[in-house]
């Protein structure tokens, strides 16, 4: 039912994609730049980027013939929301991280 949650969790399920997320947390990158960091073809990296985009975790900005891939912190929200459910059992502070992301979003 909740596609965003499913797509986000699915996006994070692959180690290559989690690495991409970390790399993009450091700096925006084109597909070619990202491909340099991995031992696979550009087409494979592109597929991962599509999955990450479906999960709302990255956005893509066209600049000339390049595509700048940028991390979308807000895309993590469905994941944190899901984790928050357990928050009720264990602790109530995950909400604060969500708030932080929300603030970041409006910078």
List Cβ neighbours of 17 (8 Å cut-off, separation of 6 or more): 11, 48, 51, 52
- Site residues for its own copies, window 13-52 (CB under 8 A)? 13, 15, 18, 22, 25
94 binds, among its own copies, DNA, none (CB under 5 to 8 A by kind): its own copies
Stretch that binds its own copies, among 31-39, 44-52, 61-69, 98-106 (CB under 8 A): 98-106
80 binds its own copies (CB under 8 A): yes
Q: Report residue 107 as tokens.
A: 């910078």
H or E stretch at 86: helix 77-90
Question: Rounded to an integer, what distance in angstroms lies between the CA atom of residue 21 and that of residue 69?
Answer: 10
85 binds its own copies (CB under 8 A): yes
Q: Which is nearer to its own copies, 23 or 60 (CB)?
A: 23
């Amino acid at each position: 039912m909740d596609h965003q949650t499913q797509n986000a969790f699915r996006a994070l399920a692959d180690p290559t994609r989690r690495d991409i997320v970390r790399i993009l947390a450091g700096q925006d990158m084109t597909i070619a730049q990202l491909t340099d960091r991995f031992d696979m073809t550009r087409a494979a990296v592109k597929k991962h980027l599509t999955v990450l985009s479906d999960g709302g975790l990255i956005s893509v900005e066209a600049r000339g013939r390049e595509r700048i891939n940028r991390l979308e912190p807000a895309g993590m929200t469905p994941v944190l929301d899901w984790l928050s459910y357990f928050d009720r059992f264990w602790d109530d502070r995950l909400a604060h991280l969500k708030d932080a992301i929300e603030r970041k979003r409006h910078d």
